[in-house]
Amino acid sequence: MIWTKRLLVALPFAIAAVLTVLITASDRFHLVREHIAGYGFLFSAPWARLLDHDWFGHIHNRRLEAAIVYTTILWIPAFLYSGCLWLLIHFMGHLKGRHSH
């Protein structure tokens, strides 16, 4: 049961990693990346209000700008999803502990 909880908490990071690889691969092979990028925006949609601000301003370095975009669209939402799942699992564990007495 512990491994199931750990895998559930790690799942958002796995999704972000897969999407990062797919977007990077589609960019390198000059494929249509709008469909894959759409999945990234769908992944970050619940956190859009929080992430919609221009936190870093305009960066003139292309690689740094790409890293900031990947971080904002994929990795920060993965962290937020994972944190919420961890809190939910932790809260449910406390409720289960109270009702077992």
55: its two tokens: 């936190």
Residue pLDDT, tens place only, 63-84? 888 888 888 888 999 999 999 9
Residue pLDDT, tens place only, 3-18? 899 999 999 999 999 9
Return the pLDDT at 100: 57
Residue pLDDT, tens place only, 20-63? 898 888 877 777 777 887 888 888 888 888 777 777 777 788 88
| 14: Cα separation from own chain's centroid | 9
Q: 24 and 36 in contact (C-beta within 8 Å)?
A: no
Q: For the chain, what are the domain ranges?
A: 2-99
* DSSP-assigned letter for residue 45: G
3-class DSSP state of 33 = coil
- Which amino acid does the sequence have at 40? G
